Amino acid sequence: MEYSERLKQLTVQFFATLVEKVNKAIAEGRDIINLGQGNPDQPTPAHIIKALQTAAEDANTHQYSPFRGLPELKNAAAEFYKKQYGVEVDPSAEVAVLFGTKAGLVELPLCLLNEGDLMLLPDPGYPDYLSGAALANVKCQTFPLKAQNHFLPDYSAIPAEQAKAAKLMYLNYPNNPTGATADRTFFEETVAFAKEHHITILHDFAYGAIGFDGKKPVSFLEAEGAKEIGVELYTLSKTYNMAGWRVGFAVGNPVIIESLNLIQDHLYVSLFPAVQKAAAAALTGDQQCVEEIVSRYEQRRNTFIRACHEIGWRVKAPSGSFFAWLPVPEGFTSEVFADFLLEKADVAVAPGNGFGEYGEGYVRVGLLVDEALLIEAVNRIGKLNLF
Instruction: Kindly report the average pLDDT of the chain as a whole number.
Output: 96
HSE-up of residue 290 (Cα within 13 Å, Cβ side): 19
Neighbours of 376 (CB within 10 A): 17
- Which of 316, 247, 309, 258 has the alpha carbon at shortest distance from 283? 247
Neighbours of 296 (CB within 10 A): 16
How far apart are the C-alpha atoms of 267 and 284, rounded to whole Å? 28
Q: What is the pLDDT along the chain (387 residues), one digit of tens a residue?
A: 999 988 888 887 777 778 888 999 999 999 999 999 889 999 999 999 999 999 999 999 999 999 999 999 999 999 999 999 999 999 999 999 999 999 999 999 999 999 999 999 999 999 999 999 999 999 999 999 999 999 999 999 999 999 999 999 999 999 999 999 999 999 999 999 999 999 999 999 999 999 999 999 999 999 999 999 999 999 999 999 999 999 999 999 999 999 999 999 999 888 999 999 999 999 999 999 999 999 999 999 999 999 999 999 999 999 999 999 999 999 999 999 999 999 999 999 999 999 999 999 999 999 999 999 999 999 999 999 999
Quick one: DSSP state of residue 94? Answer: S
pLDDT the model gives residue 10:
87
Q: 3-state class of 151 per DSSP?
A: coil
- Which of 254, 198, 248 has the alpha carbon at shortest distance from 221? 254
Indicate the domain borders of the chain. Answer: 5-44+289-382, 63-284
Task: Mark out the alpha helices in the chain (DSSP H runs).
Answer: 5-8, 14-27, 46-56, 71-85, 101-112, 129-136, 160-165, 184-197, 226-229, 236-239, 254-267, 273-284, 288-310, 334-345, 371-382
Pairing of strands 230-235, 248-252: antiparallel
What are the pLDDT digits (tens) for 3-62? 998 888 888 777 777 888 899 999 999 999 999 988 999 999 999 999 999 999 999 999
Answer yes or no: are the C-beta atoms of 189 and 199 closer than 8 Å.
no
CA 49 to chain centre: 23
How far apart are the C-alpha atoms of 328 and 51, rounded to whole Å? 45
Q: Please give the class, per CATH, of domain 63-284.
A: alpha beta
Answer yes or no: are the C-beta atoms of 212 and 203 closer than 8 Å.
no
- Taking CA atoms, 309 is separated from 177, 345, 364, in Å, by 20, 18, 16
Domain 5-44+289-382 part of CATH 3.40.50.720 = no
Indicate if the alpha-carbon torsion angle 144, 181, 291, 89 is positive or negative.
Answer: negative
What are the pLDDT digits (tens) for 148-169? 999 999 999 999 999 999 999 9
Domains 5-44+289-382 and 63-284 share a fold: no
